[in-house]
Structure 1
Amino acid sequence: MWRCPLGLLLLLSLAGHVALGAKQGRVRRELAPGLHLRGIRDAGGRYCQEQDLCCRGRADDCALPYLGAICYCDLFCNRTVSDCCPDFWDFCLGVPPPFPPIQGCMHGGRIYPVLGTYWDNCNRCWQAGNHSAFWGMTLDEGIRYRLGTIRPSSLVMNMHEIYTVLNPGEVLPTAFEASEKWPNLIHEPLDQGNCAGSWAFSTAAVASDRVSIHSLGHMTPVLSPQNLLSCDTHQQQGCRGGRLDGAWWFLRRRGVVSDHCYPFSGHEQDEAGPTPPCMMHSRAMGRGKRQATARCPNSHVNNNDIYQVTPVYRLGSNDKEIMKELMENGPVQALMEVHEDFFLYKGGIYSHTPVSLGRPERHRRHGTHSVKITGWGEETLPDGRTLKYWTAANSWGPAWGERGHFRIVRGVNECDIESFVLGVWGRVGMEDMGHH
């Protein structure tokens, strides 16, 4: 539990007595300003548990000070409006809260709820918000349906790293964005919906940008995640998860068509729903090139060119090496661990806030995801420290985060984002330079 400065604690207790006095005798308790219609906007914490307080029926004195308002530990608290203390459901009822706790941010040893303004503004706080796409989803479902990259085997994790050497005296810029160096060649994020297919989406996203860059803009395809989901079936599970090494093998040996030609069929939460069968195969044409054996599944598109890549390579996990590779050759693919608070990210520089520590395990689950890193930057905090970050594209659509992108702390392997980073070259021959 966070420890309050004594003055603040007194202030909260005072507010508590005032509010308690005012509430006595009311038929229906009304929400105090620190509360919210769907429940308390808090990042967790121990209230009922700390005082060992759980009351039967309605008990107006079964209350605790809560951020300048009052929260209750009685069985009445969730009847008309939810003014229960944040840990009431866990501690008193032994059930998960009916809504996920909203993340807060830590400042001076205290957790503050977001969507509030504080005079002593918490300076290292990313913004959380509620995404309509996730309404009604449990954390378990979010992890099951919205991620979908299987952690690589130890053999793949030990893949030989290619070390990028910085020349003596070489200084990398403090900020870089791929879309500024290569305008019109860096593609916007797609939306994987409730398909646990980030393995296919991030691979297609990085390959799209790199084929565009390495062909000098002669080919600018948005490559098809569906082609991978439906056709890369060797030890892959489509919308139930897959492996990055398998996806890159498929792109090198078989190739994929554009997203226009083979659009995403979407996938709602349905455990039984099989991945749609593969509609596109390719055959060798000689010189390593391949051609499609069928027309596009989208009958309005005729261009069924197959795009391929060279063998994938792994970068060292030093942030300078990743930066140099990104700046010279284009966006890279990164594996990352997604925690419960990442689903609520709305903006700012993300770092995982371990506010769910001490809560039941079901609130602390996490899963492996893969994303496209597109650049980096740094920000000076009010106290003069510098906060370095990566910019990256997710595959949860443009309404999530910063127009589908996010920033995450750089240089400290936040959420394992620097532990397994991959690059690849688009397979581009001289003949490809002649047509679009």
Structure 2
Amino acid sequence: MLSQALTVLFLATSVTSIAVRHRQRFPGPYCQTRRPLQCCPGRDDSCTVPIRDTVCYCDEFCGIHNAEDCCPDYENVCLAQWATTSKSPPTNECFHEGRLYGVGQTIQKDCNTCKCVTSWSNLDLQTWECENLACINEPALVEGVNRGRYGWTARVYNKFDGVSVIDGLRYYLGTIPPKSQVKELFPVKANIEGLPIEFDSREQWPTYIHPAMDQGRCAASWAFSTAGVTADRWSIQSGGEVLDDLSVQRMISCGNVEGCDNGGRVEDAWSYLQKEGTVSEYCHPYTSGVSRQSQRCTYIEESACRDNLVYKTTPPYRIARDERRIMKEIMRNGPVQAIITVHPDFYLYESGIYSHTREEFLLLERNHTISGTHSVKIIGYGEENGVKFWRCVNSWGQSWGERGMFRIKRGTDEVGIEDFVVAVWPSHGPGLN
């Protein structure tokens, strides 16, 4: 007891003058608001409270090492507490990670906002009232996929931290299903003889196939898959003379779409490329993924690349809904565009051959709508351990999946990937004879 009293006396002496000055400038409270522990014994670098544009400390070490780091109410709260018997923290208040919150204040728990409210049943009780949205980074969903041995593995991604499934559908997909008359396009039926077991466009045309880009928080997969297929085929048809990434931003800014919230149709993207064309990514770089706005349409004569040629395409043609005909088209002419239905488990894909697991049914009571439409680029196909697959390029950046790509079951129209497959030919622009 004597040593404890001496320690408290030493701390009190070292901080008193500083505490008086701090209390006058920043009255607080600070340490008093921390829950469940107001003050921490020893050294605890996490025992802090925000103050102005920095933090102050409520641990025993701050009084010994540098009293200026202590919170203004450190003397009244912590020294008094260590000198007497500590009281248990109240249980009728809103606290989170050691901090006390008042009625009306909010915190974020993954994708759900929680608000401190007064209980209707007991006016002396404060409690958290939280949303009940399903989040993309759902640990139970990851665990269910990995435990189920579906042939692929799942993980959480930083890019989806704090994103609900509903917002995932709204901002990370963006392809509106084609109109019925478009889906009735008469399909091209190519000769399907001489198909190898595996094919990868990157090996057939080295340096011609463009890697995954990142659409960010903008519903623009319709534009990314269109630009990706066009750029690849332009490189192939030009014999490698033209290797430009093509501008997605131009289609978004100039193609009469409503920003990043409502998405677009692939047929409208192809129509724009046929009639107006686009420029290189260098001349009109992508910014909507950060701004979440469609941005101003900058005409070529106004841009820094006024001499840059426009890339135009033919009208799109549809490949028959037959895996072997799709395989033949990719092998002969290059990557194609496909439309898929995205379920919550797809966001969490890490590696392997994807198939929809239905594990997300555990989320149904929190979301009525849990699937949306997305478009991707198919660049090849293969087989692993007797399971056939398509190799596809997504538009969520190269840190997602298998370096921005994914493999998906082939021959079973998994999530609709073989239902509507289209491609185009370059018609006017650089590198064409």
With the length of structure 2 as denominator, give the TM-score of the two structures: 0.66
Aligned to 2:165: 139
Aligned to 2:273: 251
Aligned to 1:417: 417
Task: Map 1:96-111; keep pairs closer than 5 Å.
Answer: 96=133, 100-102=137-139
Aligned to 2:402: 402
Question: 1:219 and 1:99, CA in 2 relative to 1: closer, same or farther beyond 3 A?
Answer: closer
Aligned to 2:258: 237
Aligned to 1:365: 370
Moved over 6 A (4+): none
Question: 1:98 and 1:231, CA in 2 relative to 1: closer, same or farther beyond 3 A?
Answer: closer
Partner letter of residue 432 of structure 1? G
Deviation at 1:98, TM superposition (A): 6.7
The answer to whether the Cα contact below 8 Å between 1:224 and 1:260 also exists between their aligned partners in 2 is: yes
Aligned to 1:156: 182
Deviation at 1:216, TM superposition (A): 1.4
Partner letter of residue 377 of structure 1? G
Partner letter of residue 258 of structure 2? Q
Aligned to 1:261: 283
Greater Cα radius of gyration, structure 1 or 2 = 2
The answer to whether the Cα contact below 8 Å between 1:103 and 1:128 also exists between their aligned partners in 2 is: no
Give SS of 1:348's match.
strand
Question: Once superposed, what is the RMSD of the aligned Cα atoms?
Answer: 2.8
Deviation at 1:357, TM superposition (A): 2.9
Question: 1:427 and 1:379, CA in 2 relative to 1: closer, same or farther beyond 3 A?
Answer: same
The answer to whether the Cα contact below 8 Å between 1:374 and 1:391 also exists between their aligned partners in 2 is: yes
Give SS of 1:228's match.
helix
Q: Unaligned regions of 5+ residues in structure 1, if any?
A: 1-26, 28-77, 81-92, 106-110, 117-121, 281-291, 381-385
Q: Unaligned regions of 5+ residues in structure 2, if any?
A: 1-35, 37-94, 98-129
Give SS of 1:432's match.
coil
Aligned to 1:217: 240
User: d(CA) in 2 for partners of 1:131 and 1:218?
Assistant: 37
Deviation at 1:103, TM superposition (A): 6.0
Provide Cα deviations, 1:365-386, integer angstroms capped at 9, x if missing partner: 1110100000011011xxxxx1
Aligned to 1:185: 208
Deviation at 1:94, TM superposition (A): 9.6
The answer to whether the Cα contact below 8 Å between 1:139 and 1:363 also exists between their aligned partners in 2 is: no
Aligned match for 1:305, one of 295, 303, 309: 309
More displaced 10-residue stretch of structure 1: 302-311 or 181-190: 302-311
How many residues are matched?
A: 309
User: d(CA) in 2 for partners of 1:349 and 1:113?
Assistant: 12
Larger helix proportion, structure 1 or 2?
Answer: 2
User: d(CA) in 2 for partners of 1:331 and 1:396?
Assistant: 18
Partner letter of residue 178 of structure 2? P
Give SS of 2:380's match.
strand
Give SS of 1:259's match.
coil
The answer to whether the Cα contact below 8 Å between 1:339 and 1:352 also exists between their aligned partners in 2 is: yes
Deviation at 1:267, TM superposition (A): 3.5
Deviation at 1:264, TM superposition (A): 0.4
The answer to whether the Cα contact below 8 Å between 1:388 and 1:410 also exists between their aligned partners in 2 is: yes
Question: 1:369 and 1:181, CA in 2 relative to 1: closer, same or farther beyond 3 A?
Answer: same
User: d(CA) in 2 for partners of 1:97 and 1:238?
Assistant: 25
Give SS of 1:163's match.
coil
Partner letter of residue 324 of structure 2? K
Using the aligned pairs only, state the percent identity.
Answer: 41
User: d(CA) in 2 for partners of 1:205 and 1:413?
Assistant: 22
Give SS of 1:162's match.
coil
User: d(CA) in 2 for partners of 1:206 and 1:260?
Assistant: 17
Question: 1:230 and 1:99, CA in 2 relative to 1: closer, same or farther beyond 3 A?
Answer: closer
Question: 1:276 and 1:95, CA in 2 relative to 1: closer, same or farther beyond 3 A?
Answer: closer
User: d(CA) in 2 for partners of 1:113 and 1:322?
Assistant: 29
Aligned to 1:34: none
Aligned to 1:279: 298
Deviation at 1:218, TM superposition (A): 1.7
Deviation at 1:317, TM superposition (A): 1.1
Aligned to 1:70: none
Deviation at 1:189, TM superposition (A): 1.2
Give SS of 2:166's match.
helix
Deviation at 1:277, TM superposition (A): 1.5
With the length of structure 1 as denominator, give the TM-score of the two structures: 0.65
Aligned to 2:343: 339
Give SS of 1:161's match.
coil
User: d(CA) in 2 for partners of 1:390 and 1:99?
Assistant: 24
Provide Cα deviations, 1:77-134, integer angstroms capped at 9, x if missing partner: x999xxxxxxxxxxxx9934677533668xxxxx8563x7xxxxx6543111111011
The answer to whether the Cα contact below 8 Å between 1:333 and 1:423 also exists between their aligned partners in 2 is: yes
The answer to whether the Cα contact below 8 Å between 1:350 and 1:406 also exists between their aligned partners in 2 is: yes
The answer to whether the Cα contact below 8 Å between 2:225 and 2:376 also exists between their aligned partners in 1 is: yes
